[in-house]
Amino acid sequence: MRSWQPTAALGLIAGVSALLAPQWSALASGGGPTPETVNVPTPEPVFEPEQVDTGGLHLEAGLDHAALMEGSTQERLLVVTVSADPVEGGERAPINVAVVVDRSGSMRQQDRMGFAHQAAEDLVSSLQDDDRFALVSFASDARVVVPSAPVHNPTALYSAIRSIQPAGSTNLHEGLRTGQLQVRTHATPESVDRVILLSDGYANVGVQLPSELSKAAGRYAQEGLAVSTIGLGLDYNEDLLAQMADTGGGSYRFVNDAESLQAAFDDELHRLNSVAGRGVGLDIALEDAELIDVIGYDVTKTDTGLRIWMGDVYGGETRRVVMRVRMTAGAEGQLLNAATVRLSEGSTQVGSPVAVQATVTDSADRVERSANRELAVVGNEAAAADLAQKAANAFEDGDIQASNQLINSSALVAGEAASRYGSTRLEEQSGALLRQQELYDNNTPSSQKGRYAIKSNKEDNRAWTR
């Protein structure tokens, strides 16, 4: 969710120096079973994060540095990783999908409707006889073009897809609601249920508040009905569509041509064929740590701590959540309990909880040697991307000075961390961030190239935080 205010830029930039100072390098309870713990009485050069296997899903959690200097208050990056085993070949779950297509007048531009027709047809051609397909179009109102039914006659579906022609405004809420009802009516415990929403414009009819649209996307998500969003062209609200995908438990993509739209539909079909975990969530109880922020994810407070919604997790996929926390160390030898992390699918906890711990030392060398390189790299990638995302928002708002300072700081964070941890990934990210800056330097926010830069950069930055 976008929460940028231009007046916050200077304060935020001033804090970047702290990220590059020594403390940056130091950076980067409910019921249930007794958590497994990490025993680290004496820091060693590397600490592996605690891991719990839950069938096809794996949960890991750890700190970028597992030791703190005695008597100090320091920031740490707490990294939680959820990964899934590849989904092996064989019989897959039946797919229950509704494609919801924006048919507003702007879809005439650059043959966007033709792109949508072709992508939807190719999706239909890849479905099996026992899969269900529904087609909804929306402009000023929403229409069920093809009610949800098994895919027995693809030729008839192709004809129905081609019948959608652009005209009117953009009632995004009604299109989403209608698509959700088509899927929900035929959802079963065995089916993979998905709405794929494609729009090229801003919601300008009906419900238009981003918060309400996001709620609509998330309304059935807890029941397993996920929403994926695709933004086509340069005129839609990318922050809204990304947020709808987040609350809806699906994926978000920005596309600007026929080839990338087809790739987006192909990728979505692959995901539908390889769901490993449905409605995955994390429950995090902080103990000897204070939350600063969570990068790239919305957080809900619960009676026992924090809840982070991840949505569906796919076979072979790895998802990461990076949290900035503040910890205070007492005397040497103290063992701090940073957090307890639990994994759930829907409302059911799976596997054992994981405890994240740190030890206190009087040796700066031991603090340095307690670094977990992989977690530090992941955490710094996310921290740099977070600054870059704020730079994109500032550029979009016309605050060029703040944007330049933020993107410079972002590249510097990635570059310093690349050198510190010997990471080629961070080196590549730093270079990519400098290229983002070049796009801002050479274009205005309202130009076609400037608008393209905003959307493509936001998508890249979002990927680095996950």
Q: Which range, 205-219, 267-281, 420-434, is most confident? A: 420-434
φ/ψ (deg, to 5) at 134: -130, 150
12 has a pLDDT exceeding 80: no
Residue 65 is given by DSSP the state B
| Residue 64: predicted pLDDT | 96
Helix (H, G, I), strand (E, B) or coil at 194: strand
355 forms bridges with which residues in the sheet? 340
Tell me the residue type at 260: S
The secondary structure element, H or E, covering residue 28 is: none
39 has a pLDDT exceeding 50: no
In angstroms, the CA 70 to CA 55 distance is 39
Task: Tell me the average pLDDT across 318-334.
Answer: 96
Which residues have C-beta within 8 Å of that of residue 89, sequence separation ≥ 6?
Answer: none
Task: Tell me the average pLDDT across 129-135.
Answer: 96
| Residue 52: predicted pLDDT | 60
Say if residue 394 is exposed, middle or buried (CB neighbours under 10 Å; 0-12, 13-18, 19+): buried
Global pTM value: 0.86
Name the pLDDT band for 414 (thresholds 50, 70, 90): very high
Q: Which is it for strands 73-84 and 95-102: parallel, antiparallel or unpaired?
A: unpaired
Q: pLDDT per residue over 244-269, tens digit each?
A: 999 999 999 999 999 999 999 999 99
DSSP letter for each residue of 454-466: HHHHHHHHHHHT-
Please name each of the domains of the chain with its CATH number. Answer: 37-87+277-364 (2.60.40.3670), 95-273 (3.40.50.410), 376-464 (no CATH)
54 has a pLDDT exceeding 70: no
Give 27's Cβ-side CA count (13 Å radius).
28
What is the sign, positive or negative, of the torsion defined by CA atoms of 12, 13, 19, 22?
A: negative
Task: Tell me the average pLDDT across 304-312.
Answer: 92
Show the CA angle centred on residue 243, arms to residues 293 and 179, nearest 5°.
150
Contact call for residues 79 and 383 (beta carbons, < 8 A): no
297 has a pLDDT exceeding 60: yes
| Residue 27: predicted pLDDT | 38
359 has a pLDDT exceeding 50: yes
Mean pLDDT in the chain? 88
What residue spans of 112-204 are helical by DSSP H?
A: 112-126, 154-162, 172-185
Q: Which is it for strands 192-199 and 335-345: parallel, antiparallel or unpaired?
A: unpaired
In angstroms, the CA 193 to CA 249 distance is 11
Closest by CA position to 322, among listed 351, 282, 354, 355: 282
| Residue 204: predicted pLDDT | 92
Q: pLDDT per residue over 193-203, tens digit each?
A: 999 999 999 99
Name the pLDDT band for 42 (thresholds 50, 70, 90): very low
Which residues have C-beta within 8 Å of that of residue 29, sequence separation ≥ 6?
Answer: 285, 287, 304, 305, 340
Task: State percent of the chain over pLDDT 70.
Answer: 88
Name the pLDDT band for 10 (thresholds 50, 70, 90): very low
Residue 87 is given by DSSP the state P
Name the pLDDT band for 222 (thresholds 50, 70, 90): confident
The region of weakest confidence among 26-30, 149-153, 374-378 is 26-30
Q: pLDDT per residue over 268-282, tens digit each?
A: 999 999 988 888 999
**Residue recorded with tokens 């031991």:** 366
| Residue 5: predicted pLDDT | 46
453 has a pLDDT exceeding 60: yes
Closest by CA position to 377, among listed 338, 340, 416: 416
13 has a pLDDT exceeding 80: no
In angstroms, the CA 221 to CA 226 distance is 5
| Residue 91: predicted pLDDT | 74
